[in-house]
Amino acid sequence: MSQLLAGSPKNWGRWGPNDQVGALNFLTSAEVLRGVRAIRQGKVITCGELIASPTGDPIFPSRTQPKRSNTQDRGDYDSGRLKPLPGGAQYADDQITMFLQGSTQYDALGHVWYEDQIWNGYPASETIGGMNKASIEPIAERGIVGRGVLLDMAAYKGKFALEKGDTLGLEDILGAAKKQGVTIEKHDVLCMRIGFLQLLHTQGPQKFYADFNEPGMIYSPELVDWFHKMEIPALCTDTISNEMDFDPETGMQVTLHCALMRNLGITFNEICNFEALAKDCHADGQWDFLYVAAPLKVHKGTGSPVNVVAIK
């Protein structure tokens, strides 16, 4: 990895030696207002996946499914295990056990590294026992608000969903934007519909996870340079990794996590569900919107669930 990315650009130190939110620094008050100007209809569309779905959640194969269970409900009152509160009120409670990156979520900037350094040059030892630096907490405290642009990459390729082996490069990003008639501007939150996770519901988990290698972007110096030049604050996709898991040319894994997140400080929003948003954009021709996301504030977390909101 270090040899491949030896000449790759970095934003380390750009916002000082103590920075922990990276390219989100580009989302100034002026950028928030630019995003607000994309609101032209008053439509609100959420882009989060259902957690603990009865048909199974889309998660990376090494992670386990979320488990939600009631801790108390009406049955406990019927059995006499619980008594109503003073005044007669009763209530239900539940709990969930899940990977913080097991649903629609944001990665902490220190989530992935190489050469024993995470974002901004902090030592990788800061991850031991919890993220002491570059955790999800500073990102969650800040929130992510700006002009969002959706590119339907599957539609651009003439498919409902991209499949294993399908790759995307810079020419595809620019081509999709041109075809849709939308301009990607500096500091835009870039959202990409790949469609692949929808195949989980049509293929079933056994076929879907066999020889697992998600479709998506693959590394090239031109692609990384474009993200750097455009000062993209956040990359959001409806896949688990925001990139092809194993690069077909190098065999390396999560190369763009290293080049974009670790080196440039670009935040990664993964496992979105852009189906409703894409359908609406195809119908009305408006591909930009106010993007709003506020991950949960998890102390020392490597990531956190989020329900993205697009307002058109």
Please write the tens of the pLDDT for every residue from 21-63. 999 999 999 999 999 999 999 999 999 999 999 888 999 998 9
Rounded Cα gap, residues 295 and 172, in angstroms:
29
Rounded Cα gap, residues 106 and 140, in angstroms:
9
- pLDDT tier at 2 (50, 70, 90 boundaries)? confident
- Which pLDDT score is estimated for 51? 95
Rounded Cα gap, residues 302 and 128, in angstroms:
11
Instruction: Please tell me whether the overall predicted TM-score, pTM, comes out greater than 0.85 for this model.
Output: yes
Q: pLDDT tens, 276-290? A: 999 999 999 999 999
Mean pLDDT to the nearest integer, 197-223: 93
Q: pLDDT tens, 233-278? A: 999 999 999 999 999 989 999 999 999 999 999 999 999 999 999 9
| Residue spans per domain, the chain | 22-63+100-311, 67-96
- Which pLDDT score is estimated for 115? 95
Determine the topology of domain 22-63+100-311 in CATH. Answer: Glucose Oxidase; domain 1 (3.50.30)
